[in-house]
Amino acid sequence: MTAAADVKPGEAMRKRVVILGGGFAGINAATELAKLPVDVTIVDRRNYHLFQPLLYQIALAVLSPADIAQPIRSIVRDHRNIEVLMDEALSFDLAQRRIHLKTGVQLEYDYLIVATGSTHSYFGHDEWAKLAPGLKTVEDGIEIRRRVLLAFELAERQMMETGTHPPLNFVIIGGGPTGVELAGAISDIARLYMTRDFRHIDPSMAKILILEGSPKILGSYPADLQVKAGEQLTELGITFRTNAHVTDVQPGYVMIGDERVDAVVTLWAAGVQASPLGKLLGVETDRRGCVTVDGHLNPAGHPEIFICGDLAHVEQDGKQVPGVAQPAMQMGRYAAKRIGRLIGATSGSKDENFRYFDKGDMATIGRKAAVADIKWPFKAHWSGFPAWMTWLTVHIFFLIGFRNRFSVFRQWAITYLTFNDGVRLITGSQDLPGWDSQSKVAEEASSKSPLEAMILKP
């Protein structure tokens, strides 16, 4: 199968570029390649581009999936030289320049951009995934939302039936930006949005605990912002423990060595590993499976292949370029421009290396707080409300699609100003791992009989 269907007479020599992955790197590569005389195929196993930085807002019921996802076809609709194939890349034949897809299709390329991102790492304990879901996909977001909301519902029911319920402990494993954002959002839900909705339980009594294995939360941020983040978490009633290595995850609790920590909901925000496709290329990878690339983003010996985004291991000034959205976008654009130079379609030095232009990092901590390490257009460390406003503006700006920007802005305004409902729907199963055993313990400890509780609290 060739990359573009409508090759016109005289255009037979047009190069075929295949992009694997329609994430930040893939979409930015595609929109740059749209300007070149090449035929492009984007392959993604999903039909949409997902704005992952706002995923936790799905998880915590502020936004719905359609707000932060956009069909890839609609993003490239106006670019006639780009086609989209919903399929999954399974393996490569690098000698024949061919990709094998899940449906049996074999796709040929002259240039290949691999940008399939990363996934969770449970550090060899994949069995923990069911007990402590991580946040990477829309499905993960909906599952986390289900568990968090269900915990409150089950507690209310149990309170009505027995007059007691297990402590609403939410444990988040990992104190990086995702863990901190999840913790802040659960705290908001419990303290601000849920308290008016329940009659028998007090959702604001929920306890949120972040367990971080390293000595600091937000380890990649400057020390003063780590301190500010800690203060803002404490203000929200969130506890965090550092140097806390989780050694086991079980239904209803986690272990830190010999210490047991009860949890009605456990969430995973601790580790990532590269997409498994990296290893299947048969080139050098690092311990997380990221492909080691040179200054042109090529793996050794393959100037026709570009690795972009989270999947790439790029060294700059002695440090690894971080796996976040900005470098992914810049790598995608770089790869496309370099292809332009290699085929002689654009000017500029062919030997110019990729260089990450770091504009800074931000993490939000609940409704009105955040930390921002700004590096461009000026240098500053902000925290609290100014950092949160900056975070809000940047995220609206980078969301793809006018419809998404408008609907996210509207939904945020409604939710943040009016403390309104958000998207608090529970879909799927009504089971919570470990709930039954925890509620039995709570019942045994309670002095009221079930009947008494029912009569007293109709």
Ligand X SMILES: Cc1cc2nc3c(=O)[nH]c(=O)nc-3n(C[C@H](O)[C@H](O)[C@H](O)COP(=O)(O)OP(=O)(O)OC[C@H]3O[C@@H](n4cnc5c(N)ncnc54)[C@H](O)[C@@H]3O)c2cc1C
Mark the segment that binds ligand X (CB under 6 A) among 146-154, 185-193, 244-252, 322-330. Answer: 322-330
Q: How far apart are CA 257 and CA 245, in angstroms?
A: 8
Instruction: Assess 443 for contact with ligand X (CB under 6 A).
Output: no
Q: Give 447: exposed, middle or buried? Use CB within 10 Å, 0-12, 13-18, 19+.
A: exposed
Closest CA to 204 of 193, 219, 192, 191: 191
For residue 402 the two structure tokens come to 């006018």
In the list 4, 31, 45, 65, the residue contacting ligand X (rule: CB under 6 A) is 45
Judged by CB under 6 A, the stretch of 74-82, 242-250, 323-331, 426-434 that binds ligand X is 323-331
H-helix or E-strand spanning residue 112? strand 111-114
Q: State yes or no: residue 373 binds ligand X (CB under 6 A).
A: no
Q: What angle do CA 396, 400, 403 make, to 5 degrees?
A: 80
- Nearest-approach distance from CB 154 to ligand X, in angstroms: 26
Determine the interface stretch with ligand X among 24-32, 196-204, 399-407, 416-424 (rule: CB under 6 A).
24-32
| Nearest approach, Cβ of residue 402 and ligand X (Å) | 21
Residues 6 or more apart whose CB falls under 8 angstroms from that of 432 comprise 147, 150, 151, 154, 264, 265
Contact status: 187 vs ligand X (CB under 6 A):
no
- Quick check: 299 binds ligand X (CB under 6 A)? no
Buried/exposed code over 349-373 (b: 16+ C-beta within 10 A; e: otherwise): eeeeebebebebbbbbbbbebbbbb
Site for ligand X contains 46 (CB under 6 A)? yes
Residues 261-280 that bind ligand X (CB under 6 A): 275, 277
In this structure, the number of other CB atoms found within 10 A of the CB of residue 94 comes to 16
Contact call for residue 166 and ligand X (CB under 6 A):
no
* Exposure string over 186-215, b if 16+ CB within 10 A, otherwise e: bbbbbbbbbeeeeeebebeebbbbbbbbee
Interface with ligand X: number of residues (CB under 6 A): 34
Is residue 20 a contact residue for ligand X (CB under 6 A)? yes
Peptide bond into 377 cis (omega under 30): yes
Distance CA 427, CA 430 (A): 8
CB of 198 to ligand X, least distance (A): 28
Of these, 324, 342, 345, 454, which contacts ligand X (CB under 6 A)? 324
Which contacts of 122-125 are long-range, i.e. CB under 8 A and separated by 24 or more positions? 122/268, 122/271, 123/270, 123/271, 125/249
232: contact with ligand X by CB under 6 A: no
Q: Is 43 in the site for ligand X (CB under 6 A)?
A: yes
When CB distances to ligand X are compared, the closest residue is 23
| Residue 181 is a catalytic residue | yes
- Binding string, 109-138, against ligand X, x = CB under 6 A? ------xxx-----------------xx--
Please report whether residue 366 would count as binding ligand X according to CB under 6 A: no
Q: How far apart are CA 448 and CA 140, in angstroms?
A: 38
| Binding of residue 26 to ligand X (CB under 6 A) | yes
44 is a contact residue toward ligand X (CB under 6 A): yes
Instruction: Locate all alpha helices (DSSP H) within 15-130, ordered by sequence.
Output: 24-33, 55-59, 65-68, 72-75
Whose tokens are 């390490």? That residue is: 373
Among residues 181, 235, 259, 444, which one is catalytic? 181
98 binds ligand X (CB under 6 A): no
Which residue in the set 166, 203, 309, 434 belongs to the binding site for ligand X (CB under 6 A)? 309
Note whether 115 and 42 are within 8 A (CB).
no
The interface with ligand X within residues 66-95 (CB under 6 A) comprises 88-89
Where does this chain bind ligand X (CB under 6 A)? 20-26, 43-46, 52-53, 55-56, 88-89, 115-117, 135-136, 177-178, 275, 277, 309-311, 323-326, 328
Which positions are catalytic? Answer: 181
